Structure 1
Amino acid sequence: MVTPFTDRTRVSLAALTAGAVFAIDTFTRLQSAVAVLYALVLLIADDGAARSRASRWAYPCAALAVISFLLSHGGRADTDEMLRLVASLAAITIAALLLARSARLREQVRASDVRYETIFNSVALAIWEHDFTQVMAELNALKASGVDDLEAHLRAHPGHVTHLCGLVRISHANDAARRLLDIDGDAVFFERLADFLPEEDRSFVQGLLALDRRSPTFETECRVRTARGDIVPIFIAMRLPTDGNGYDRICGSVLDLTERKRMEKSLESARQERDEALHRAIIGGLSTSISHEVSQPLSSINAYLAAARRWLDRRPPDVAEARRVIAQAQHAGADATQVIAQVHEVVERGRLERTLLPFDPLVLRVVEVIQAEHPGASFDLASEDGDTHILGEVQLLEQLVCSLIGGALNASHCAEGERAIRIATSADGSYMRLRITCSTATESAFPKVSDRQPAHLSAGSLSLCRAIAQFHGGSIRVTRNCAGTGIDIELELPRA
């Protein structure tokens, strides 16, 4: 019991009460245990502090009760008078014990409050406590008036949402919350949620719907306005009551997302710079290979045209041989055109976007396109793991696989109907592998692939293929097969 008096007033009033009880008990002949009223003295003396001294008043009060008994009755007291004295002393003792126990409980509560306040203000996470009592009363009134679709009503009446936001009281906040919202130590924290939640923020509507559904938790990203007017992105998590009680103390744990947003922006900028650097690296790699890839077919074209001229200069002219050499020149020109087209496609693509995509369907699409262009070639497609995904740029990967398969076809040095291509995909815990094996129907009719230059990808730039593979974190290995008339190409890309 906490009495609304100062210490001096409390002591004076307790002393006056004790004197009045003593006078009534001593100088009147009331047939009752008047000394029981000394318990009021103890109650008046209790200041409600954690270590109250009210119980110490029990000794003088008990002494006054005994003195009054001796003055009034002396040695002539009967049994009833003795029992009234015992009852009075018992009442004084019980009151003293109860006040002592109350003081100990207050001390424990005070220690718990100090410990809670210390923990509350020591955590780095911002926490503030909401009072949604008035808001829930408004929502219940809306439902009672016949509003069935609360979400549609709130979205159709933004002014009502602003009104409800103004009803949310902030009852408590820790030091981290004050620092987050730039509130000085002596300043008062925001009293209402509307004071620091911008009106254009739509997260409050989602919170109201979560309260209406009685969801156990609510989490969202939103923005708040600091005392200085700055906008801070935050993540807030609240545990909501599900039994209809406790709307006056809904705590929100708040995480400042400013640094994370800044890091995300920096990472996005770094990713763009990396992609641009890789794109420039691809173009740089092309610059060293374009001259070789284009000059070789151009040299072949000049040689074929010179041969055709000699065949035509003969008497009589050998038109058939001239036509065959001109056809070879046209084939070499097509190779040069294909290289230039691939370079042009990569250069014009601009920024490269990576997506998560399944690898086997991509290979199958490329094989179907190539098979339509080379109906005489034989393709054998095998897959060990049909559900492997990689992170890559779709068009670059399609161009890479197309260039490797087309290069294997041209490197076999055999007629259209005799080329056999085996394509196999496999995967382990870290990498996805594409193996392309090209063989010929007969070995002796075609030249061997040398050890020094195991293969020549005349259908596209091998440098371009390597640059695309490196862009995706992979690699390419090209070797001659055991028979020496074809090549083995292995592409290795990291799994997503």
Structure 2
Amino acid sequence: MTTLAPGSGPALGRFNPGRRRWHRLLALLLGSAVFVVDTFTDVTGAIAVLYVVVLLIASDTLSRRGLILLAATCAGLAAAAFLAMHGLEPDVSAAVRFGISLAAIAITAALLLRDQASKRSLVAANAALARSEKRYRSIFEQAPVALWEQDYTELRAMLTTLRQQGVQDLAAHARAHPAFARDCIRRIRTVHANDATAELLRLSSSSEALGPLERFLPADDPALLAVLTAVAEGSSQFEGRGKLVAADGQVLTVLLGIAFPDDADEFGRVVVATVDVTQREQIQQTQLAAQAELARASRAATVGALSASIAHEINQPLGAVVMNAQTCLRWLGKDPPDVQAAVRAAERTVRDGRRAAEIVQRTRGQLVRDQRNDEAIDLRALIEETIALLETELSTHAATVVTQFAPSVPPIRADRVALQQVLINLMTNGLHAMADAGTARELTVSIDGPAGPAAPDAEVRVSIRDRGKGIPDDVQARLFEPFFTTKRGGMGMGLAICRSTIETYGGRLTARSHEQGGAVFEFALPADTAEES
């Protein structure tokens, strides 16, 4: 029997050199014994089939090439024994036994080669998996973003049970069971966190973040219900804004990104990314407060400037009106009355009254019309920009904006800043209207324009619908009156200024209650047909 070729390959790693030598020695002895019995005894059975055992014993110590060589050697030994015993003209039974032996050796060798290939693939896959896990761990640990691995197994099982019991509206269930949110938080456990998480939560090490999440997550955070809904509905991910409580008690505003696995068995390690935006939120709140204060001051200054200008210029014509009215009365008081003189005095009164109206209109034009910077405006882009400006306001009110734009909307011509202020006022009023409504806080902003090329008298209509309590009948008639307000601390100038601004550009602003609840504010502006052509 030939010497076995030394193998190399992943399978050999399972044996130490001493054990490998013993396996090869045993295979050598067994192969020799089979050859001796098959060649020098009168046993009539298919003794050569036992070479299969030799292949099995030596297979784990040989490479692919070595296994093929061993199989060929066994087949050669079987052939040599067959020729030695039966010559070139054997009987049929001996030839059949010889064929069975060769087939057994060939089949066994093929199966062992396939097994080796499978083992090599498995070892390569495991090595690739180990490298991938190492890369993942390296990225996880070194990422500047706070990353958590959390166990959602108990939470998912609880939500699944609730669904099976018929609970479909988690928000209603949470309102009916005040302890529900806290119970859910207790079922979420942190199993791993990186150093950025420890820094975010003001912890000395990431190991302090492990355990129940309730230490760091307030139960009244609106984002919690959204996360629970995403888990219950089988969503693949969640993105939103939430709150965390650091170890020093500071409440942090964070952006959340959660990737949920497709396999329910993998909810033991859900990756959660958090980005601290607390400082940005504080800056935005400061900016919004400054903008609101500036807007109030601007409105007050506008009213003051308008009043001062009108008072200064209208004093003379009003004095003339009074004087002519007194003259008219004096002529009528004569005996007999001088009707013609009284008529002339009354005509002068009318003339001076019209002059006063023209002064008011001109002053208003100086404050509103002449200072604007008109341009062609794409209302769709302007509304998207306005929604982005109100991001913090929307988050504070836990509200969303749904846009419904017509496929083709012609531009309009107006002052961008003034028109955006109208949109901000109307959308902010909608958010305030939904603050105590207890319904879905959703603003719907729609744009409707003419289909096809815009005619000279075409209009673009913008409507903003809230889900509040609507407009009471006793308020509807006075809604746009200056200084009329239903808000505590309000000036009552916002809607009046909005209507005045829209009318300045040749449009109109209306308000009504929606038949399905809430209020709808709608303004229409002339389409800029010159820009389209």
C-alpha separation in 1, matches of 2:341 and 2:504: 31
**Structure 1 residue aligned with 2:286, among 266, 269, 273?**
266
Which of residues 264, 277, 288 in structure 2 aligns to 1:257? 277
CA distance in 1, matches of 2:361, 2:194: 64
In the alignment, which of 377, 385, 390 is matched to residue 458 of structure 2? Answer: 385
How many Å apart are 1:297 and its aligned residue? 0.3
Counterpart residue number, 1:293: 313
Measured after TM superposition, the shift of residue 262 of structure 1 is 1.9
Distance in structure 1 (CA, Å) of the matches to 2:143 and 2:201: 16
What is the identity, as a one-letter code, of the residue corresponding to 1:274?
A: L
Shift of 1:165: 2.0
Name the CA distance, whole Å, in 2 between partners of 1:73 and 1:265.
Answer: 87
- The structure 1 residue matched to 2:13, chosen from 55, 60, 63, is 55
Distance 1:57 1:305, change over 3 A: closer
Asked if 1:354 is matched to 2:422, the reply is yes
* Equivalences, count: 334
For residues 389 and 321 of structure 1, do their structure 2 counterparts lie closer, same or farther at Cα, with a shift above 3 Å needed?
farther
Q: Is 2:197 the counterpart of 1:177? A: yes
The more displaced of 51-60 and 267-276 is 51-60
Select the residue among 247, 257, 268 that pairs with 1:237: 257
Map 1:90-489 → 2, pairs under 5 A: 90-93=59-62, 107-142=127-162, 146-149=165-168, 151=170, 152-185=172-205, 187-241=207-261, 244-283=264-303, 285-286=305-306, 289-298=309-318, 300-301=320-321, 304=324, 318-329=338-349, 332=352, 354-355=422-423, 384-389=457-462, 393-396=494-497, 398-399=499-500, 426-428=526-528
Give how far 1:166 is off.
0.9
Q: 1:119 to 1:308 in 2, by over 3 A?
A: same
1:395-439 per-position Cα deviation (integer Å, ceiling 9, x unaligned): 13545788999xxxxxxxxxxxxxxxxxx97432899xxxxxxxx
The alpha-carbon distance between structure 1 residues 293 and 157, as it changes in their structure 2 partners (threshold 3 A), is same
Aligned AA for 2:497? L
- 1:374 aligns with none
What is the CA–CA distance in structure 2 between the aligned matches of 1:73 and 1:401, rounded to whole Å? Answer: 102
- Flag structure 1 segments of 5+ consecutive residues without an equivalent: 1-50, 345-351, 359-381, 406-423, 432-496
Structure 2 match to 1:484: none
Query: Counterparts of 2:63 and 2:12 in 1: how far apart (Å)?
Result: 13
CA contact (8 A) 2:309 2:363 kept: no
Shift of 1:88: 4.4
Q: TM-score, normalised by structure 2?
A: 0.47
Letter in 1 for 2:528: D
Instruction: Note if contact 1:388-1:427 (Cα within 8 Å) is conserved in structure 2.
Output: no
Q: Distance in 2 between matches of 1:356 and 1:186?
A: 43
Say whether the 8 Å CA contact 1:221–1:233 is kept in structure 2. Answer: yes
1-side partners of 2:502 and 2:28: how far apart?
A: 116
Helix, strand or coil at the partner of 1:204: helix
* Rounded Cα–Cα distance in structure 2 between residues aligned with 1:272 and 1:430: 36
Change (3 A) 1:429 1:61: farther
The AA in structure 1 aligned to 2:189 is R
2-structure distance, mates of 1:225, 1:143: 30
In structure 2, stretches of 5+ residues that fail to align are 1-8, 39-47, 67-115, 365-419, 427-454, 465-492, 507-523
- Deviation sequence 1:354-390 (CA, Å, 0-9, x none): 34799xxxxxxxxxxxxxxxxxxxxxxx972222559
Summarize the Cα distance change of 1:341–1:238 in structure 2 as closer, same or farther, 3 Å threshold: same
The residue aligned with 2:408 is: none
What corresponds to 1:488 in structure 2?
none
Measure the CA separation in 1 of the matches of 2:290 and 2:322. 47
Structure 1 range deviating more: 159-168 or 69-78: 69-78
CA change 1:65–1:284 in 2 (3 A) is closer
The structure with more radius of gyration:
1
Q: 1:435-491, CA deviations, whole angstroms, 9 ceiling, x for partnerless residues?
A: xxxxxxxxxxxxxxxxxxxxxxxxxxxxxxxxxxxxxxxxxxxxxxxxxxxxxxxxx
- Relative distance call for 1:246 and 1:109 in structure 2 (3 A) is closer
| Amino acid of the structure 2 residue aligned with 1:92 | T
Give the AA of the match of 2:221: D
Change (3 A) 1:93 1:242: closer
Q: Contact conserved, 2:255 with 2:274, CA < 8 A, in 1?
A: yes
C-alpha distance in structure 1 between counterparts of 2:23 and 2:255, whole Å: 66
Pick 1 or 2: higher relative contact order, CA cutoff 8 A, min separation 6. Answer: 1
Q: Give the Cα separation in 2 of the matches to 1:189 and 1:178.
A: 7
CA contact (8 A) 1:357 1:389 kept: no
Deviates more, 1:303-312 or 1:387-396: 303-312
SS in 1 for 2:183: helix
**Percent of matched pairs sharing the same residue:** 23
**1:191 positional shift:** 1.4
Using the size of structure 1 for normalisation, the TM-score is: 0.50
SS of aligned partner of 2:349:
helix
In the alignment, the residues of structure 1 paired with residue 194 and residue 505 of structure 2 have an alpha-carbon distance, to the nearest angstrom, of 63
One-letter code aligned to 1:188: E
Amino acid in structure 1 at the alignment position of 2:157: A
Q: For the residues of structure 2 that align with 1:137 and 1:403, how far apart are their CA atoms?
A: 60
Tell me the distance in 1 between the aligned counterparts of 2:293 and 2:526. 32
